[in-house]
Amino acid sequence: MLINTIKELREQVKNWKKQGLTIGLVPTMGALHQGHLSLIKKCVEKCDKTIVSVFVNPIQFCPGEDLEKYPRTLDEDKKLCEDAGVNIVFAPSPKEMYGEGHILSNDFLTYVIPPFFYVDKLCGKSRVGHFDGVCTVVNKLFNIVQPDFAFFGEKDRQQLIILKKMVKDLNIPVEIVPCPIIRETSGLALSSRNKYLTDKGKLDALALSKILFNIKICYNKGIKDVKALKETAYAFLNNSHALEYLEFRDKDTLEEKFSADNNTIVFIAAKVENVRLIDNIAL
């Protein structure tokens, strides 16, 4: 069932809650792929009722990013959701979520701002304000749906860590369920933005996962020094890659690691054909 308004969604959720049913939410921006479907599958298995939100959230895009050209495929998304056993696809308009005029001025919107320590690094460094937009919309979705469980992919690991922190700090009564990265057989992590890549771009994009897999092999062989591990990346990079970062950080606090251990996540971001790609791996 497709629902576009908060009012209608709340009525449906209220009914389910009255019956004591558990509710799972999978927040998405649409353009659903196998990665999203793995989250949806987990949600359908775990919860009595599954709601998938499809909302290209304007306030998490920075100036100059791909808000206008971000793929919007609601009909296909709806079909995929139906086939996967989703009960409701919630697809509100920006006006429904933020009211009139929000795009003209964010000065008239209450934001949820994650701690500076979590956003001054990795993607937050180049995407200033991005995580404020993510936390604000996810907090709104949590308030609208009041789910028991919410499912997020480890592909956006910084986002996942920040959202867990938000839920803890603000005592939001929801359990965040992390879901593993889904990869093509080539190793490429699935992303809605892969659609922007040419065939050659997709081949060049393999460098990201290759670098991560190789670092993990080296780590398993006993190399713990982060500087040495980072140096192994250069063998995979050429002038078709604009590396933005390759960083080793704690899996919960995002603190920088100089010696890798089992709590370390390796994060990578690079532009290929001007498409910004991210990936990560747990050591």
The set of catalytic residues is 36
Closest distance of CB 142 from ligand PAF, Å: 11
Residues present in the chain in total: 283
What is the spatial distance between Cα 126 and Cα 169, in angstroms, rounded to a whole number?
25
Phi and psi of 22, rounded to 5°?
A: -85, 145
Q: CA nearest 3: which of 140, 101, 136, 145?
A: 145
Contact flags string 139-178 toward ligand PAF, x per CB under 6 A: -----------------x--x-------------------
Our CB check for ligand PAF shows the closer of 12 and 28 to be 28
Contact flags string 76-115 toward ligand PAF, x per CB under 6 A: ----------------------------------------
Phi and psi of 105, rounded to 5°?
A: -150, 115
What is the spatial distance between Cα 20 and Cα 108, in angstroms, rounded to a whole number?
37
C-alpha 130: how far from chain center: 12
Contact window for ligand PAF (CB under 6 A) among 38-46, 63-71, 121-129, 133-141: 133-141
Number of residues in contact with ligand PAF under rule CB under 6 A: 10
Our finding on whether 29 is near ligand PAF (CB under 6 A) is: yes
Token pair belonging to 43: 């949600």
Q: Which residues bind ligand PAF (CB under 6 A)?
A: 27-29, 57, 60, 134, 137-138, 156, 159
